Amino acid sequence: MSQATAEVAATSRRWRRFRRNPTAAVGLAIVALVVLAAIFAPWISPYPDHVGAVVNFRARHQPPSAHYWLGTDNVGRDILTRVLFGYRISLILAATVLIFAVPVGVVLGLLAGYFGGWTETIIMRANDIALAIPPLVMALAVTTVLTPSLVHSMLAIAALWWTWHTRLIFSIVRTLRQQEFVEAAKTLGASRFHILFRELLPNCASAILVKTSLDFGFVILVGAALSYLGLGVQPPTPDLGTMVASGADFLPERWWESLFPGAAILVAALGFNLLGDGLRDLFDVESV
């Protein structure tokens, strides 16, 4: 490839490709909206006080209208407001879980993949055992022993979530390990820390990025499922899953009380999924 052809800056090429990829663009747009909605919830929601222990009996079970865009729930709280605040909880949950699970999972995967032998056996067999436990069952166990709460459900999910990342990084590192640049680093006298974190880890970056964005969506779904079962966030804190559960009692006449929170979960998960897929397409092209 001639020098001149190679001179197009990497970022601008990537950005152009990203813009042309509808999946990624739509995903990014949705995620951006969700995140902004969550951040600015106190300022953009019409009835910010409805997140607390407020009761507004006169406006109970109102269908969507000009006053309450998404209607009101069984105690008269504005659903739109509670959805926006519900996004906050979902995103905080997902972020916290992943902040713990991703680094732990990645480091374990790196160690198991690079060193092999006993390190690999111990880590990966532990991984297999953890993978065999369904997250919901785990959550059930944890929140029964401890009380149901947001923190405890995060704990439960995080305790098992690292396993996926370990698996992913392990298989990537196993192939990367044979590459010449890794052997070169060894012969050049690089320390093991350097090889793991400065040579191998950057090559896993795209996979981690893709998986983490997809994970956001999944964790939100798992969190919503937990709250739906009453194991997660406790009322009156607005949570999308809890809202779906309490609204379910009033189906099908007061459809808006379950539908809108449910749709909100869907939109968030969808957005992250599309973003993750789009990122994957983007990086696939580059890695060829």
Partner 1 sequence: MSEEPLLAVERLSIDFETEGRVAHILREVSLEVPARRHVALVGESGCGKSVTMRAIMGLLTTPPAKFRGGEIRFDGANLLRLSGREREALRGTAMSMVFQDPTSSLNPVFTIGDQMGSILKYADRRLKRSRNAVERKARIAEVLGQVRMADPERISRAYPVMLSGGMRQRILIAMALLSEPRLLIADEPGTALDVTTQAQILKLLRELVEARGLALLMITHNLGVVRESADHVFVMYAGCVVEQGPTHAVFAKPRHPYTRALMACIPKLSGGGAMRGIDGSLPDYSAPPPGCRFEPRCPLAVSACLKAPPHFEVAQGQSAACWRLEATE
Partner 2 sequence: MSEPLIDIVGVSKAFPIRGGLFGGSRGEVRAVNDVSFRLDRGEVFGLAGESGSGKSTIARMILGLEAPTAGAILIEGRDFADERDWRKRSPVVQMVFQNPGSSLNPRRSVGDSIAVPLAARGLERPARRRRIAELIEQVQLPANFAERYPYELSGGQKQRVAIARALAAEPKLIVLDEPTSALDVSVQAKIIELLDELRLRLGLTYIFISHDLSLMRAFANRVGVLYLGRLIETGPTDALFERPAHPYTRALLSAVPVVSDEEEALKPREPTVEGEIPNPANMPTGCVFHPRCPHVMATCRAQIPGPDQVGPEHIANCHLLRSSDARATHPLLLQESRQ
288 counts as binding partner 2 under rule CB under 8 A: no
Judged by CB under 8 A, the residue of 4, 6, 66, 132 near partner 2 is 6
284 counts as binding partner 2 under rule CB under 8 A: no
Residue 67 interaction partner, one of partner 2, partner 1, none, beta carbon < 5-8 Å per kind: none
The C-alpha R_g of the chain, in whole angstroms, comes to: 23
Please choose, out of 25-33, 99-107, 202-210, 245-253, the segment that lies near partner 2 by the rule CB under 8 A.
202-210
d(CA 130, CA 260): 34
285 counts as binding partner 2 under rule CB under 8 A: no
Please choose, out of 1-9, 74-82, 175-183, 229-237, the segment that lies near partner 1 by the rule CB under 8 A.
1-9
Q: Write phi, then psi, for 72 (nearest 5 degrees).
A: -125, 165
Binding mask 3-32 for partner 1 (x = CB under 8 A): xxx-------x--xx---------------
Which residue, chain included where needed, has tokens 């559960």?
245
Q: How many CB atoms lie within 10 A of CB 192?
A: 12
Cβ 129 vs Cβ 150: under 8 Å: no
- Name residues contacting partner 2, limited to 205-244 (CB under 8 A): 205
Min. distance of Cβ 194 from partner 2 in angstroms? Answer: 7
d(CA 162, CA 101): 4
d(CA 193, CA 114): 11
180 counts as binding partner 2 under rule CB under 8 A: yes
Q: Which of 220, 202, 180, 225 is nearest to 283 (CA)?
A: 202
Query: Which residue ranges make up the site for partner 1 (CB under 8 A)?
Result: 1-5, 13, 16-17
